[in-house]
Amino acid sequence: MAEIPAAREPGRRSLEAALLVVSIAALAFNLRAAITSLPPVFPELEARLRLSPATVTVLAATPVLCFGAVSGLAAWLNRRLGEERVLFGALILLSAGLLLRGALPRSMLFPGTIVACGAIAVMNVLLSSTIKRRAPARAGLYIGIYLTSLSAGAVIASLVSVPLYDATGRSVQVTLGLWGLPAIAATLIWITQLRYRRSSRPDRDAPPPARHRASVYRHALAWQVTAFMGLQSLLYYAGVSWLPELFRDRGESAAAAGTLLAVLGLGNLLTSLSTPVLAQRMTDQRVLVVPVVLVTAGGLAGSLWAPLGSAALWMLVLGAAQGAALGLAIYFTMARAPDPATAASLSSLAQSVGYLVSAAGPLAVGFLRAATGGWTVPVTGLLLICGAELAVGLFVGRPKMLPDGGLAVGSSGRPEADSAPADNYSKL
């Protein structure tokens, strides 16, 4: 292969960076749209598809159950195939699951959702480690772009679900199947990244990464990252799944409740880009964790107890806080790992266990609401979860890193050589 002249090298690198950004944004757009498009039309799906309230509750919890069940496979797939190829395959499965769910909603609602959400689980895990490997110097910015696009997909999906359902003559097929189109577009765009597939495989001559993968599970810091991921996800998915129902019970129309969910997503957009960038510039992220969790609690309380006329403000506040919490959680899976292989393993642990924990949110809120006939007990329970998230965040926000063959964390929060035992760096 002919060598590229040095004068053309910067231009080629710029093109590669631009294609990576576009590919990340296109993929990330699909990470929540398939999920947030459902809650605004839960009552309509219940009526048209003859679903019981218990079935709708299980449907609300299906995404996070899939995330927990499938996330653990992502690092294993990455080691064998490389991140770019695994992400490409996940996009194909996502497209297929969404199209099947739309084409045959009566028989494929759950199977299609499971396939789509399993694919999303893999993408959730590997996108952050891909960024750490491909653009470590700009990781905070790239994660911000990824989360901004994710939030945009969530906003658009929740905003248009009810109007789309009404405009298509109450077509469940179109309302569910439409979201396969952006997934197909992202699949085509991601083809530009397949040329990098070999670089994502571990070097066979390097020290075996298995030691790092095994050690992740033995360190308190890894479980702190996992707990923070799980608790913030529990609060997010409980809110996304049931806040439209809460507002409809308080007197809002179906369209207005869907709009309020879109406002929640708009709040995510306000902080999704800035939070990872700020976190990367700070040595100690606890100064971000504390206000983020407190504002989350305020937004949840305001959604139920504040006057209904101020609901949009509280949804914006809650969305901004939850967007920042997700940004921190994703950032921690990357920043607390010394290398991309460990980042993939830490992300896999955090998202597999964390999302299994978070599945309790939609399930518990649904069953508590059915048992009590109101929203006071479910929302109070979520406020208690905020307290647990704050406690965990005070540990995981400290400037520490998982060990890497004798690397320790210096005062700058970056790893530096040290002869102290590796296990000392992740103890409580």
Specify the pTM.
0.73
For the cut 70, the answer to whether the pLDDT of residue 155 exceeds it is yes
At 266, list the tokens: 């708009």
Task: Copy the structure tokens of residue 427.
Answer: 């103890």
pLDDT in tens, 305-324: 999 999 999 999 999 999 99
Pair 404, 209: CB distance under 8 Å:
no
Q: Going by CATH, does the domain composed of 19-200+214-426 fall within 3.50.50.60? A: no
Instruction: Spell out a b/e string for 244-260, using b for 16 or more CB atoms within 10 Å of the CB, else e.
Output: bbbbbeeebebebbbbb
Residues forming beta bridges with residue 407, ordered by sequence position: 417
Of 83-87, 189-193, 227-231, 258-262, the range with the lowest mean pLDDT is 258-262
User: What is d(CA 422, CA 379) in angstroms, rounded to the nearest whole number?
Assistant: 41
Minimum mean pLDDT range among 143-147, 195-199, 354-358, 367-371: 195-199
Contacts of 47 (CB under 8 A, 6+ apart): none
104-115: pLDDT as tens digits: 999 999 999 999
The pLDDT assigned to 197 comes to 58
Task: Give residue 41's pLDDT band: very low, low, confident or very high (50, 70, 90).
Answer: confident
Residue percentage of the chain with pLDDT more than 90: 44
- Look at residue 224 and tell me whether its pLDDT is greater than 90: yes
Q: Identify the pLDDT of residue 404.
A: 66
Q: Which of 336, 146, 114 is nearest to 226 (CA)?
A: 336
Instruction: Give yes or no for residue 93 having a pLDDT over 50.
Output: yes
Going from N- to C-terminal start, the domains of the chain cover: 19-200+214-426
Could you tell me which residue, 115 or 261, shows the higher pLDDT? 115
- 283-300 confidence digits (pLDDT tens): 899 999 999 999 999 999
pLDDT for res 141: 87
Average pLDDT, the chain: 84
Quick: pLDDT tens for 78-92.
Answer: 888 888 999 999 999
**341 or 205, higher pLDDT:** 341
